[in-house]
Chain A
Amino acid sequence: MNEIKFEKTTLSKKLKTMIGVDFRRLFTSPLFYIMMGIALIMPILILVMTEMMDGMVTVDPNGNETIIKGFDNVWQIIGSKSDAQGAGGGLDMMTMCNINLLYFALAVIVCLFVTDDFRCGYVKNLFTVRSSKCDYVISKTLIGFFSGACMIILFFAGSMLGGAISGVGFDMDGVVGSQIFMSLMAKIFLMIVFSSIFVLMSVIAKQRAWLALVGSLGIGMLLFMMIPVISPLDAGAIHVILSLVGGVVFGVGMGAISTTVLRKTSLI
C-alpha cells in the first residue's frame, strides 16, 4: 500500500486556486457578459433617449406643465459636481440615471454568483477540500470588485459612444479630465464596499437568491446617496483615498462578518 502524504498548502496557494476557479467561472458565465453588455448599452440608451425627450413638455392631471430637461453634457452621466444639487441632494434625473445605477447591477452579479454555489451544491466540493471560509469570502469580494470595475469602464466607454451618437456635448463645464479620472477611480474603489455587503447578504441567504437580492438592493438603496458625495465629478485625490480606505475597511469588516456567518452556519 502506498504511504499517504499530505502536501502543505500555503495560504497564498489556496487563495490563488480559489480566485482562479472563480474567475474561470465568471468568464464562462453568460450573466457576466449580459451585465457587461448592459453596462455598455445603458449610457447610450440614456443619452439618446434623454436627448430625444429634451424640451418636451408633460402635463399632469392638474394642468401643471413640466419641461423635460436632458443632460447638458456627457460627463453628467458619470456623476454630478460636488456643488450641484444632485450631489447629496434630491433624487433628480442626473442623480438617478447615471453611472451609479451600476451598483445595483453589481448586486445582481454578486448575489446570483454566490447563491448559485449553494443552490447547485458546489460549496460541498469547495469546503470539503478546504475549510477556510475566509478564502471564499475574499475571492467572491474580489470577483465583485473586478466585475464592478469592468462595468464602470464599459459604462464610461458607452458614455463616450452615447455622446457621439446623441450629439450631447463633451464640454467640461469647469471640470478637468483628471477630476473625471479621479471620480471614476473613486467609484471603482467604492465597488469594494458594495461588493463586500452583497457577499455578506448572499452568504446569509445561501441558496435563496431572491432573499440575497432583496437584502442587497435594500441596503444598496440606503447607501445610494453616499455615492455622489464620495465620488463627485470634480473629485480629487482625497476622494480616491477616502474610497480606497473606506473600501478596504468595509471589505475587511464585512468579510470578517461573512466568514463568521459561514463558520457558524451549516453550508448545505
Chain B
Amino acid sequence: MNAIEIRNLTKSFGEKQAVCGLNMTVPMGAIYGFIGENGSGKSTTEKMICGLIHPSSGEIKLYGRDYTDNDVRSRVGVLIEAPGCFPNQSVWNNLILQATNLGIKDAKKEVIKALKMVRMEGAASNKYKNCSLGMKQRIGIAMALLGEPALLILDEPINGLDADGMRIMREVLTDITKNYGCTVVISSHILGELEKIATHYGIIRHGRMIREMSATELENSCPTYVALKARDMSRAKALLNLKYSRVIEADGYLRVYDAGSSEEIVTYLYENNILVSEIMTDKISLEEYYIDLMNEKGGDR
C-alpha cells in the first residue's frame, strides 16, 4: 500500500489551472522530495492533500482511504508555509493546544518530546511572536511531529534555517522515517539539502508531474563526467570537442560527459601537447539534473 496515491488531480482558480491531471505515488516510509519551480503547483497539491483546498476533480488516497477520512487525517502532520501559531501565546501553549486538538492523552509529555526532537526545549516559554524565523520553522516541525504522525507534509521547511538547523532537520526526518515508519513529503528549492535525505523524487512543472523516481533511479540516470583543468583551456576544449560529443565549461573546469576514463583523456591531451593540471570523475547533482530536465521540457505545457 502507498502512503499517498493521487490520480488525475486538477485544481482551477477561475480560468487558471494550477494543477492539471497530476498523478503522484508516495510509497510508505519514503522521504519524498517534491520539486518544482515557483508557481508549478507544489503548494496547491500539498494543500489539497491536507484538505485545506478542494480539488476541482481527481482522486486523493491516503493509506488507501479517501483523503477526507478523519481517522487517517488524525495521523497527518503538516507544515504548510508558516506554522499556524497564535503570536501572543507561548511556544508551549501553542503546542499544547495542538496536542489537545489531536486528542493526545499525555499532551505535556508529547510536547516535551517534540520540542526535544527539534532542539527547542529552552524556548518553550518564549512568546511565538518573539521567535526568529528559524525557530518558528522548528516550532512548526515540532507541531507537525505531535501525535506520532504517519504522514508528514512539509512545505519549504528548511527555508530560513541556518546550517545547524538544516542538520537538525535532516536528523529528525531520517530518524522518524527509520524508527516510526513515518512517510515524509517535503518540498524545497534547496535541492542540495534535499538530495541528502530524499529516497524518492517527484518533479512537477506547470501543474503536471513530469518525472517520478527513486533516489537509486535518479543516481542511475545522472551521468558521470570527467572534470579537468588544463594549461590551455580553450585549446583543450577544442580538441576534446573533436573526440567527445558533450564538452562544457563550468566552474572553471572542462566537463567531458561521455568520456571512457580519465586516463584516456589525459593521454589524448598529452599526445596533443596539452598538460592536465587537475582531473576528477563526478556525477551530476540533483540540482543539475533538475535544471537539465527543465531546459529539456522548456517548451512543454
Which A residues are within 8 Å of any B CB, using their own CB? 1-4, 6-9, 13-14, 17-18, 20-21, 24-25, 28, 30, 116, 120-132, 264, 266-268
Contact = CB atoms under 8 A, between A and B. Distances in A.
B103 A17 contact: yes
Which 6 pairs show the lowest CB-CB distances between chains A and B? Answer: A121-B84, A1-B181, A2-B181, A6-B71, A128-B50, A124-B84
B28 A4 contact: yes
B70 A130 contact: yes
Given A14-B70, A125-B78, A268-B47, A21 B84 contact: no
Given A124-B52, A128-B51, A131-B69, 19 more contacts: A2-B180, A4-B150, A6-B72, A6-B74, A8-B71, A17-B100, A17-B101, A17-B102, A17-B103, A28-B89, A124-B84, A125-B78, A126-B84, A130-B70, A130-B73, A130-B74, A132-B70, A264-B54, A267-B52
B157 interface: no
B159 interface: no
B53 A268 contact: yes
A128 B53 contact: no
A122 B81 CA distance: 12
Would you call the interface of chain B mostly helix, strand, loop, or mixed? loop
A64 to B, nearest CB: 51
Contacts of A121: 81-85
B29 interface: yes
B40 interface: no
Contacts of A13: 103
A30 B83 CA distance: 22
B230 interface: no
B39 interface: no
A208 to B, nearest CB: 17
A128 B103 contact: no
A193 B14 CA distance: 35
Interface string B63-97: 10000111111111010111111111100010011
